[in-house]
Amino acid sequence: MTNWRKSSHSGDGDNCVEVGHGVGIRDSKAPATHITLSPEAWSAFLKVVRAR
C-alpha cells in the first residue's frame, strides 16, 4: 500500500494532485489510477512547476 500525500497548499480541498513515494502522481478525484514516473521524469516535472 502506498502512502499518498498532497501539498499543504491544497488545504482541506479534494481538488488536488497527490504524490506517492516510488509510485507517481494521481488526481485526488480519481485515486484508483495513477501515472508512474521515473526519478528523472519527476525531477523534470518539479523543475517546470517551480519555474512557474
**pLDDT score recorded for residue 1:** 55
Q: Residue written as cell 494532485?
A: 17
Residue-range domain boundaries for the chain: 4-51
Per-residue pLDDT reduced to its tens digit, 1-49: 568 888 777 777 677 878 887 778 888 888 888 888 888 888 898 899 8
Residues 2, 23 contacting (CB under 8 angstroms): yes
Find out whether 34 and 46 touch, Cβ atoms under 8 Å.
Answer: no
Do the beta carbons of residue 37 and residue 24 sit within 8 Å?
Answer: yes
Show the cell assigned to 38.
521515473
Q: Are 15 and 29 in contact (CB under 8 A)?
A: yes
